[in-house]
């Protein structure tokens, strides 16, 4: 790394460019082969369920697969519980739905642009089924409110 501190920006760029290109290429393949199939577009919401797929929570992957998505909703494992994350696309002007208000109605929290709900394991059935039902209900509600406010 000494060469980086002592050399010019141009020299550093020439030396690092091939490495960065390889990393970006690898990440694109991972996204295409592993992540993109886990994401579906439902109205204006990109939905990703990474529970059981062995994928980590990938905050902005939705928008790589569906750049037109106004919102992202993800179901993921959080410790011993399942959680749902809601977010607005930061690259679009999609300021219609207050995601924090939706999450608070379900016992979660957050603000207008990003929010979440955690579903601890319970005696009321399979935790995945409970979280999945809530995920789909939140997606429907985001689509409904978005359409209402956009009209």
The predicted structure's pLDDT at residue 8: 66
* Cα–Cα dist 38/33, whole Å: 10
> What is the chain's pLDDT, residue by residue, as a tens digit (151 residues)?
555 566 666 777 777 888 888 887 887 777 777 777 888 999 999 999 888 777 777 788 888 889 899 999 998 888 888 889 999 998 888 668 999 999 999 899 999 999 999 887 765 667 777 788 888 888 999 988 888 887 7
* List of residues 6+ apart from 148 with CB closer than 8 A: none
Q: What sign results for the dihedral spanned by CA atoms 145, 88, 77, 107? A: negative
* List of residues 6+ apart from 39 with CB closer than 8 A: 46, 47, 48, 61, 62, 65, 66
| Domain locations along the chain | 2-32, 39-150
The predicted structure's pLDDT at residue 25: 82
The predicted structure's pLDDT at residue 101: 93
* List of residues 6+ apart from 139 with CB closer than 8 A: 42, 43, 45, 47, 73
The predicted structure's pLDDT at residue 61: 85
Q: Which CATH architecture has domain 39-150?
A: Roll (3.10)
The predicted structure's pLDDT at residue 111: 94
């Amino acid at each position: 790394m000494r060469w980086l501190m002592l050399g010019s920006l141009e020299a550093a760029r020439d030396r690092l460019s091939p490495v960065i290109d390889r990393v970006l290429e690898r990440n694109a393949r991972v996204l295409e082969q592993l992540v993109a199939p886990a994401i579906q577009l439902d109205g204006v919401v990109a939905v990703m369920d990474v529970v059981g797929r062995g994928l980590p929570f990938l905050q902005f992957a939705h928008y790589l697969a569906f750049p037109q998505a106004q919102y992202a909703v993800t179901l993921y494992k959080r410790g011993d519980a399942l959680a749902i994350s809601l977010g607005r696309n930061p690259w679009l002007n999609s300021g219609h739905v207050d995601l924090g208000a939706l999450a608070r109605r379900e016992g979660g929290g957050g603000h207008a642009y990003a929010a979440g709900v955690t579903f601890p394991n319970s005696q009321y059935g399979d935790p995945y089924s409970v979280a999945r039902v809530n995920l789909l209900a939140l997606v429907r509600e985001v689509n409904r409110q978005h359409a209402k406010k956009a009209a």
